[in-house]
A = this chain, B = another copy of it.
Amino acid sequence: MEQENAILMLTESYKQHPKHYVAVDCSIFGYEDGELKLLLYPRGFEPSLGKWSLMGGFVQENESMEEAARRVLLQTTGLKDIFLEQAAAFSKPDRDPGARVISMTFVALIRIDIHDKDLARENGAHWWPVTKLPSLVFDHEAIVATGLELLQQKASIDLIGNELLPEMFTLMQLRNLYEAIFQKSFDPGNFRKKVLSIGSLERLNQKNTTESKKGAYYYRFKKYEPGQRSERIVKFP
């Protein structure tokens, strides 16, 4: 602690403290076939070589944790400028049996349809439905659980589909996404009214006729306009 070594009062005073490996681990969520999915990798090195794992990497000297996470995302999905948010830190000394590694975890949301599938395949990546996850390395199951909670909390105030759905989507697709996130079903009529009342969606003049006979209007998220912040907050579920 500081007071014990106040005598030094130098940059030197940092030096008596230990340094640690610091990693970022990303819970990468996507949405496909009506299911919320998580991108997992067979771990590429010991310990636990080959077991399923979140994608992660070590924080380098010249980068922040966010930058490290973006680097990892770019290297594994080919995507930049994606939704990425800090979740929680995991720091039990023995959480990684290979070495003492402190891990900051992130939640990323991506559109499965536009990520680089070749890059993912190269790394042995696989999309797992969140309802049927395999057992994971170390404490990664707890990390995912925390990330999923954050996602639900986020979705309950922000209307997040933008990050997970294609550019244009029907309200049924948005509802299915929310049902996948919250693992419960919503009344179609009420969901429609709730979601439209927020005012952040705009209806297009095209219809999707593949999922119903009548055809459903496509919607998309309005471009974010500063100054015109959404007043109305709607809580799910």
- Name A residues whose Cβ lies closer than 8 Å to a Cβ of B: 1-3, 5-6, 8-11, 13-14, 17-22, 43-47, 49, 57-66, 72, 75, 86, 88-89, 91-93, 98-102, 104, 123, 235
Q: How many copies does the complex hold?
A: 2
**Residues in B neighbouring A92, C-beta threshold 8 A:** 64
11 contacting pairs across A/B (C-beta < 8 A) = A1-B57, A3-B44, A10-B46, A11-B46, A11-B99, A14-B101, A18-B59, A19-B22, A20-B20, A20-B21, A64-B92
List the 7 closest A-B pairs by CB distance, nearest first: A19-B19, A17-B58, A2-B44, A65-B91, A64-B91, A14-B99, A6-B44
- Which B residues touch A102, using CB under 8 A? 22, 59, 65
- Closest beta carbon of chain B to A161's beta carbon, Å: 23
* A91–B5 CA distance with the chains assembled, in angstroms: 24
CA distance A9 to B43 in the complex (A): 10
Chain A, interface SS category: loop
Contacts of A59 in B (CB 8 A): 18, 20, 91, 102
Q: Which residue in B8, B17, B43, B235 is a CB contact (below 8 Å) of A21?
A: B17
> Which chain B residues border A66 with CB–CB below 8 Å?
91
In the complex, what distance in Å separates the CA atom of A11 from the CA atom of B99? Answer: 7
Chain B residues in 8 Å Cβ range of A45: 2, 5-6, 8-10, 13
Cα distance, A6 to B3, chains bound together (Å) = 44
Supposing A64-B92, A91-B59, A123-B3 touch, asked if A9 and B49 sit within 8 A by C-beta, the answer is: yes
Q: How near does chain B come to A131, taking the closest CB pair, in angstroms?
A: 24
Q: Which residues of B contact A8 (CB under 8 A)?
A: 45
